[in-house]
Amino acid sequence: MVPLEQLHLSHVLQAVSALESIVLRSFGPEGGQVLFTRDTGQVMVSRSGKRILTALHLDHPLARMVVRCVWKHSTITGDGSKTFVLLLASLLRIIHATATKDPHMFQPHNSTEASEAATARHLADRLLEFALTELDKLIVLNVLPHGFRVSLENFTAKTQHDLSCQTLLVSFFRTRLGYAYCDFFRNLFCELLSHWKVKDDRPSFSMQFLNNSFLALHTQVSGVPVSCSRLIEGQVIHRDFATPCPQVRKQPLKAVVFNGYLQPKLLTTGDVLELRCGDKVTEDRGIVHFSSWTEKSVESIIATLQSFGVSVLLCALKQSSAVLAAATQAGMCLVECVSEEEISLFTQLSGVTPISDCRRIHPEHIATLTFCKPLLLGAHRFGLMMKNVSQQEEEADR
């Protein structure tokens, strides 16, 4: 059996101090940004403590454990990654200094090293006990009187807390972006919240929804200055139209979300096709008949959609050329390969359900749009559409 190696407090302090020296350079309003380069040539510039720590390639198992603890902490609290490391390093430094100065404070031992370890363990246990039993009371008595409660309305309306909210946002963005853009993004964030309509008067739901849907709401535009960031009304689908989208269309529009293929596939990976006519295998003739049947099936599906007045199709998968040709002939806008996040956002806002079998389409599968048109951002063209529902969002683009 391999003997267990004792982990000395000095080694723990060294590992945490190394992490502290990294995050300290980007801590606070005066902190700078950290530049990471990968072997592939990709570059990442960030001041986020969570992103900085998780991007490090750490060999020391203790350092990796600390980073995992920081990741769990920031996942729950949403912030405080750098503060976590700085506070941990400070506490370890105080415990180490106290244990080294008076190793026999609580119980004598045969060696100085054992006494220091026992004293450090005792101090750590006392600190944990204090955090579990006394810290909450201390915060209530000495911290809460200096704070205030912030709601969604405080960010969007002129209230007595308006200045406090502005100060809070400036501090938040300054620790991540520096002085250059903190005021700009503070105003952009307040504008985003002011345009957001809460359906059930629950601001917490609105904030959580924005956080969960940010990947679908945010559009990155390369080669454009950050100061050109703006809000766009509607949802940007980060795919171009696979069929022509006329600029002028009847209002309102009806849309359907598909999570499968509109044309039945002849074969999938690993399938073996064997078509028979009586006792004879007529493969060529059978394939022609099957292909003809699938094309007629597509025509039937398009006709069904037209009977419901559908003119916009959002598809999670890439469709066949026969489907694109039929949709073009019917004057339908089709967007294929839409991401799962964007489909989820669209269905949540519109209240519709994606379908896989077009022959079983019902009114609850049809969403009503205010508009649907192409959008040019930088060198890319996307689809822009607006749901005709009470709950609307603003698209944050950069």
Average pLDDT value for the chain: 79
Compute the radius of gyration of the chain from its Cα atoms: 30
**HEC letters along the chain:** CCCCCCCCHHHHHHHHHHHHHHHHCCCCCCCCCEEEECCCCCEEEECCHHHHHHHCCCCCHHHHHHHHHHHHHHHHHCCCHHHHHHHHHHHHHHHHHHHHHCCCCCCCCCCHHHHHHHHHHHHHHHHHHHHHHCHHHHHHHHCHHHCCCCCHHHHHCCCCCHHHHHHHHHHHHHHHHCCCCHHHHHHHHHHHHHHCCCCCCCHHHHHHHHHHCHHHHEECCCCCCHHHCEEEECEEECCCCCCCCCCCCCCCEEEEEECCCCCCCCCCCCCCCCCEECCEECHHHHHHHHHHHHHHHHHHHHHHHHHCCCCEEEECCCCCHHHHHHHHHCCCEEECCCCHHHHHHHHHHHCCCCECCHHHCCHHHEEEEEEEEEEEECCEEEEEEEECCCCCCEEEEC
Does the pLDDT of residue 275 top 70, yes or no?
A: no
Q: What is the CB neighbour count within 10 angstroms for residue 75?
A: 10
Contact 120, 9 (CB under 8 A): yes
What are the phi and psi torsion angles at 313 (to 5°)?
Answer: -120, 125
| Amino acid (one-letter) located at 23 | V
**pLDDT, tens digit (0-9, with 9 covering 90-100), for 43-69:** 888 888 888 898 888 888 889 999 999
Same domain assignment for residues 311 and 367: yes
Residue ending a domain, among 121, 142, 163, is: 142
Structural domain includes residue 3: no
Residue 131: per-residue pLDDT: 83
Cα angle for residues 149, 151, 156 (degrees, 5° grid): 130
What are the phi and psi torsion angles at 377 (to 5°)?
Answer: -125, 110
Could you identify the residue written with the tokens 């603890």? 69
Same domain assignment for residues 177 and 257: no
How many alpha carbons fall within 13 Å on the CB side of residue 59?
0
Same domain assignment for residues 93 and 196: no
Residues spanned by the domain of 46: 9-142
Of 307, 342, 306, 358, give the one whose Cα is nearest residue 327: 306
Same domain assignment for residues 267 and 361: yes
Give the chain's domain count: 3
Residue 389: per-residue pLDDT: 47
CA distances for 339 relative to 44, 235, 310, 344, angstroms: 24, 13, 21, 9
Q: Which residues partner with 233 through β-bridges?
A: 394
Same domain assignment for residues 33 and 92: yes
Same domain assignment for residues 246 and 378: yes
Residue ending a domain, among 115, 142, 169, is: 142
Same domain assignment for residues 261 and 381: yes
- Beta strands 394-397 and 230-233, pairing class: antiparallel
Residue 397: per-residue pLDDT: 45
The better pLDDT of the pair 365, 245 is held by 365
Residue 394: per-residue pLDDT: 40
- The Cα 25–Cα 256 span in angstroms is 50
- What is the model's pTM? 0.65
Structural domain includes residue 217: no
Residue 371: per-residue pLDDT: 87
Structural domain includes residue 398: no
Residue 324: per-residue pLDDT: 92
Residue 2: per-residue pLDDT: 46
- The Cα 225–Cα 398 span in angstroms is 8
Residue 67: per-residue pLDDT: 93
The lowest-confidence range among 16-20, 105-109, 361-365 is 105-109
Residue ending a domain, among 90, 121, 142, is: 142
Which pair of structure tokens corresponds to residue 176? 């991540």
Does the pLDDT of residue 325 top 80, yes or no?
A: yes
Same domain assignment for residues 63 and 136: yes
Structural domain includes residue 176: yes
CATH number of the structural domain spanning residue 89: 1.10.560.10
- Please name the residues in contact with 260: beta carbons below 8 A apart, sequence gap of 6 or more: 316, 317, 356, 357
Q: What is the mean pLDDT of residues 200-215?
A: 72
**pLDDT, tens digit (0-9, with 9 covering 90-100), for 385-397:** 777 643 344 444 4
CATH number of the structural domain spanning residue 262: 3.50.7.10
Residue 243: per-residue pLDDT: 93
Structural domain includes residue 147: no
Same domain assignment for residues 116 and 16: yes
Structural domain includes residue 397: no
Residue 41: per-residue pLDDT: 78
**pLDDT, tens digit (0-9, with 9 covering 90-100), for 226-271:** 888 899 888 999 999 999 886 555 678 899 999 988 887 765 555 5
Structural domain includes residue 157: yes
Contact 313, 358 (CB under 8 A): no
Same domain assignment for residues 282 and 388: yes
Same domain assignment for residues 95 and 133: yes
Number of residues assigned to the chain: 398
- The Cα 8–Cα 22 span in angstroms is 22
Same domain assignment for residues 195 and 98: no
What are the phi and psi torsion angles at 127 (to 5°)?
Answer: -65, -40
Structural domain includes residue 230: no
Q: Which residues partner with 253 through β-bridges?
A: 369
- The Cα 109–Cα 103 span in angstroms is 9
